[in-house]
Structure 1
Amino acid sequence: MFKFCVLFVIISIFVKLEANPENDDIYYSQSQVILRDNGIRYSSSYPSQCFEILKEFAENASNFTLCTILHARPITLCEKCIKDYVKFRDKYKELLVAVVNGTSCKSIFLSQDRLNAVQEYHDNILSVWDKGNCNDCYNWTLGIPSLKSTTIDFYRMSNDTKDCISKYNDPDNSEVCNKCMQIYEELDEFYKTLSSDSIGVDSVCMDIVDSMNATRSTWSKTLNCCNLRRTPEVVFLSCAGIISFLPILYYITVRYCGPIRDLPNVLKQSRFKQTILRGLSIESRSD
């Protein structure tokens, strides 16, 4: 009973404190102090044009981030988000070089504290674009992006391959592998030329890499078209094994089945043995 009374008193005091309008005045006055402090230190001394540039940069960063997330799977962000990327890039450059009434906007928002929020957000957002090698999809003449001829050729060949697979991939038609083999191999060989290494993950635009991986997966796993390549390989390996075994078979045949087995023993004796026998015969005659 005593514990219940104590708990009731504590709850009553807490309710009174929450309902007391004086507490709201205290919180409000504290908030006003913070706002006035921020106003004294920042708003009154910085040009409004810099804040407008920062606001536009934030909007561009938001749009670019949204676009990259929406086109993350399948990966088409390099193609679909190029306009948002250019706006994001250009507005950041403007923020770096803008000077209003002798005040640099860069000096206001960048590298002024340990958090360095503007720079951190810029670098983190840009890292997705750079990690995907998206700039490799384009030519950047005067900073304006245009698709490379190799990018256009790849997508043309990729679309031809997909159209061929769609055309012949019927339940009653098993000719899709034979019909589309040449087109697929041309696409695969062209993809290998896009990079100096055999993989290309570290240098080829990620849109192209993901598209090629999807096509290879469909070709090998879904359609099982790689089985057609295994038959010639089995024949080749079998022939190579037989040819390698022929010398061994020849020596075994000569050793155990050759005509030397039918010769008299005297003909099979070595020259060394014949020399010894001749020497012994000469000595016996001299005696």
Structure 2
Amino acid sequence: MYKLYLLFVLCPIGILKANFEIYNHLQSNVFLQYNGEGYLFPYPNQCYEILDVFAQHASNLTLCSILNARPITVCERCVEQYVKFRDKYQELLNTTVNGTSCRSVFISHDRLNAVQEYHDNILSVWNKGKCNGCFDWNHGIPSLKNSTISFHKMFNDTMKCIVDNMYPQNNDVCNRCMQSYLQLDEFYKSLSSDSIGVDSVCMDIVDSMNATHSIWSKSLNCCKLRRTPEIVFLCCAGIISLLPLIYYMTVRFCGPIRDLPNVLKQSRFKQSFLRSVDNRSD
């Protein structure tokens, strides 16, 4: 009888204790959620592991882009970091753990949308530089295009020619390197349909060509070799454009029409008008 009494008394106490522990656990989770330090149902650890690696790749690509900003060599020197950054982001989008998509956890989940915003901002630098245009992409693996390799070879040959012939006290660098420079310039123009390449050519190539133009025209002042033919052409064009004016001025002031009687100088329209007036008066 005594044992039955103890069982009757202790069982409700045990049940109440268990319910109290469950309540405390739920209350603790709700408290964490309220403070923004956790969630009632935590997200999969695998998603956070992928996010951590993605953040490292994003940091590496950003660092590489900044360090290669001048002269611009971002495309070729940072392509390895870009591929890792791109692939890890795709893994983050496509991974699902126990029915929970990592994309739904980190992408477009709130107004801040930090992961998406940082991804787009970093990627915009790569896309703005048309960096994919430097490479052939075989199943997502980059390799330098033949045109990129050819340009760099011609660029290096031109710069070597300039350096070798600029010193000491050598003023003939323009004549010696003119052919190399013109070949490089023509090849660069062939890379783009608009002959400028700002909107289609890889930025590494554009920056190298801009630097070459600046050295050739400003530092070496080699464009003066083209000025004489241009001046001759402009003078000839000016003289030809003045010939019609000279002709009409000559006819106007020096022609035989000045010696004709006034009656012959009257226009046909005036003669016809006077004739019609005379006919009406008759």
- Band the TM-score falls in, shorter-chain normalisation: 0.7 to 0.9
Q: Which residue, out of 130, 139, 142, partners 1:142? A: 139
Per-residue deviation, 1:239: 3.5
Cross-structure match for 2:272: none
Classify 1:272/1:206 alpha carbon distance in 2 versus 1 (closer, same or farther; 3 Å): closer
Task: Give the whole-Å Cα distance in 2 for the aligned partners of 1:111 and 1:91.
Answer: 18
SS in 1 for 2:215: helix
Q: Which residue, out of 143, 147, 167, partners 2:164? A: 167
Partner letter of residue 72 of structure 2?
A: I
Cross-structure match for 1:74: 71
Task: Give the whole-Å Cα distance in 2 for the aligned partners of 1:127 and 1:252.
Answer: 63
Task: Give the whole-Å Cα distance in 1 for the aligned partners of 2:51 and 2:249.
Answer: 87
Per-residue deviation, 1:61: 0.5
Cross-structure match for 2:117: 120
Cross-structure match for 2:178: 181
Task: Give the whole-Å Cα distance in 2 for the aligned partners of 1:78 and 1:251.
Answer: 62
Return 5+ residue gaps in structure 1 as ranges.
1-32, 274-287
SS in 2 for 1:73: coil
Task: Give the whole-Å Cα distance in 2 for the aligned partners of 1:256 and 1:123.
Answer: 74
Give a deviation string over 1:151-210, Cα, whole Å, max 9, x none: 111111111110110011124211100011111011111111111213221111111111
Cross-structure match for 1:41: 39
% identity of equivalent residues: 66
TM-score normalized with structure 1 length: 0.73
Give a deviation string over 1:101-146, Cα, whole Å, max 9, x none: 2221111111111111111110111111011110111111211111
Per-residue deviation, 1:39: 5.7
TM-score normalized with structure 2 length: 0.74
Cross-structure match for 2:99: 102
Task: Give the whole-Å Cα distance in 2 for the aligned partners of 1:40 and 1:271.
Answer: 110
SS in 1 for 2:137: strand
Task: Give the whole-Å Cα distance in 2 for the aligned partners of 1:108 and 1:76.
Answer: 35
Classify 1:108/1:179 alpha carbon distance in 2 versus 1 (closer, same or farther; 3 Å): same
Per-residue deviation, 1:90: 0.2
Cross-structure match for 1:111: 108
Give a deviation string over 1:37-70, Cα, whole Å, max 9, x none: 556506x522211111111001111111110010
Per-residue deviation, 1:237: 2.4
Classify 1:38/1:269 alpha carbon distance in 2 versus 1 (closer, same or farther; 3 Å): closer
Indicate if the aligned counterparts of 2:158 and 2:177 stay in contact, CA closer than 8 A. yes
Indicate if the aligned counterparts of 2:33 and 2:39 stay in contact, CA closer than 8 A. no
Classify 1:48/1:239 alpha carbon distance in 2 versus 1 (closer, same or farther; 3 Å): same
Partner letter of residue 54 of structure 1?
A: L
SS in 2 for 1:146: strand
Classify 1:238/1:55 alpha carbon distance in 2 versus 1 (closer, same or farther; 3 Å): same
Indicate if the aligned counterparts of 2:93 and 2:102 stay in contact, CA closer than 8 A. yes
Report whether the alignment pairs 1:64 with 2:81: no
Report whether the alignment pairs 1:132 with 2:108: no
Cross-structure match for 2:274: none
Per-residue deviation, 1:270: 10
CA RMSD of aligned residues (A): 2.8
SS in 2 for 1:210: helix
Task: Give the whole-Å Cα distance in 1 for the aligned partners of 2:183 and 2:208.
Answer: 15
Return 5+ residue gaps in structure 2 as ranges.
1-30, 266-282
Per-residue deviation, 1:81: 0.2
Report whether the alignment pairs 1:226 with 2:223: yes
Task: Give the whole-Å Cα distance in 2 for the aligned partners of 1:126 and 1:255.
Answer: 71
Task: Give the whole-Å Cα distance in 2 for the aligned partners of 1:114 and 1:253.
Answer: 80
Cross-structure match for 1:55: 52
Per-residue deviation, 1:247: 6.8
